[in-house]
């Protein structure tokens, strides 16, 4: 039996969390999701109540169709990734739940619609979080937005790294409103390691667009200011760590 009064979330005591967990439903527009996210994973921070919520989250998600699990899996993944980042022992304490969540995520990935690459990217990020992969268990979701920002490792100038519907390029100019902005094409990766694993996973799940985005995420770019070459994923990871 969990003593929720002895646990904390973003706003204080977690006595209100059990009632929220009882209201869980797959509808992403349901108010309960905003309430849970704000309490259990506020701006990426996690709390004792966050970890204690994993069994109830897992149980609820397991009862929903694969296509309806995305928001719940994202919340659970954000909690697990936040615990890893903060050095918590939650991964050991909730190993069974995390293994189950990883299985449920794989089911949902395979059922994801290739016409909705963003949904698949969120699920792929959840996979990485449950697997304990650093950085990308928290940072892959920006691939769904189609844009990262990171400083050039050589001159420090902030670059837009665009990998999405607008193309695959770097620029230091406001490309969204300026069609004349200089766009320097990214060079896709020669795949190995994590990049190859993710590329193979996306292709195996029928997600060709996401697979192509991943090749460019782990490829190389050119600074729009000093023309230095840099490894895209490394620049993003360094920016995230800072």
Please give the average per-residue pLDDT across 162-175, as a whole number: 97
Long-range CB contacts for residues 135-143, cutoff 8 Å, separation at least 24: 135/236, 135/237, 135/240, 135/241, 136/194, 137/77, 137/80, 137/81, 137/84, 138/44, 138/78, 138/81, 138/82, 138/85, 138/240, 139/236, 139/237, 139/240, 143/210, 143/213, 143/214, 143/217
Rounded CA gap, 197 and 141, in Å?
17
Tens-place pLDDT, residues 185-240: 999 999 999 999 999 999 999 999 999 999 999 999 999 999 999 999 999 999 99
Please give the average per-residue pLDDT across 141-158, as a whole number: 97
Tens-place pLDDT, residues 86-118: 888 999 999 999 999 999 999 999 999 999 999
Residue 16 has pLDDT above 90, yes or no: yes
Residue 178 has pLDDT above 90, yes or no: yes
For 184, the enclosing helix (H) or strand (E) is strand 184-185
Give the model's pLDDT for residue 1. Answer: 80
Mean pLDDT, all residues of the chain: 96
For residue 81, name the pLDDT band (cuts at 50, 70, 90): very high
Rounded CA gap, 189 and 196, in Å?
9
Rounded CA gap, 131 and 188, in Å?
25
Q: Which of 25-29, 52-56, 86-90, 123-127 has the weakest average pLDDT?
A: 86-90
Q: Assign domain 4-134 to its CATH architecture.
A: Alpha Horseshoe (1.25)
Q: How many residues does the chain have?
A: 242
Tens-place pLDDT, residues 37-72: 999 999 999 999 999 999 999 999 999 999 999 999
Please give the average per-residue pLDDT across 71-95, as a whole number: 94
For residue 242, name the pLDDT band (cuts at 50, 70, 90): confident
How is the chain split into domains, by residue range?
4-134, 146-241
Residue 149 has pLDDT above 90, yes or no: yes
Give the model's pLDDT for residue 64. Answer: 97
Give the contacts of 79 (CB within 8 A, at least 6 positions apart): 40, 41, 46, 50, 51, 53, 54, 90
């Amino acid at each position: 039996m969990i003593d929720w009064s002895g646990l904390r979330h973003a706003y204080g005591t977690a006595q209100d969390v059990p009632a929220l967990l009882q209201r869980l439903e797959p509808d992403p527009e349901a108010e309960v999701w905003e309430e849970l996210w704000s309490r259990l994973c506020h701006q990426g921070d996690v709390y004792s109540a966050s970890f204690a919520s994993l069994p109830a989250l897992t149980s609820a998600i397991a009862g929903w169709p694969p296509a309806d699990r995305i928001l719940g899996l994202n919340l659970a993944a954000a909690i697990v990734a936040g615990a890893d980042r903060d050095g918590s022992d939650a991964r050991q304490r909730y190993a069974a739940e995390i293994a189950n969540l990883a299985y449920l995520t794989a089911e949902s990935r395979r059922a994801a619609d290739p016409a909705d690459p963003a949904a698949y990217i969120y699920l792929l990020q959840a996979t990485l979080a449950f697997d304990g992969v650093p950085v990308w268990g928290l940072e892959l979701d920006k691939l769904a937005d189609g844009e990262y920002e990171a400083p050039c490792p050589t001159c420090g100038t902030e670059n837009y790294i665009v990998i999405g519907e607008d193309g695959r390029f770097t620029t230091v100019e406001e490309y969204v409103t300026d069609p004349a902005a200089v766009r320097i094409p990214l060079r896709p990766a020669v795949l190995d390691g994590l990049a190859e694993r993710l590329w193979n996973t996306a292709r195996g799940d029928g997600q060709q667009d996401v697979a192509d985005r991943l090749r460019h995420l782990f490829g190389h770019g050119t600074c729009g200011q000093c023309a230095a070459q840099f490894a895209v994923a490394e620049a993003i990871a360094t920016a995230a760590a800072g």
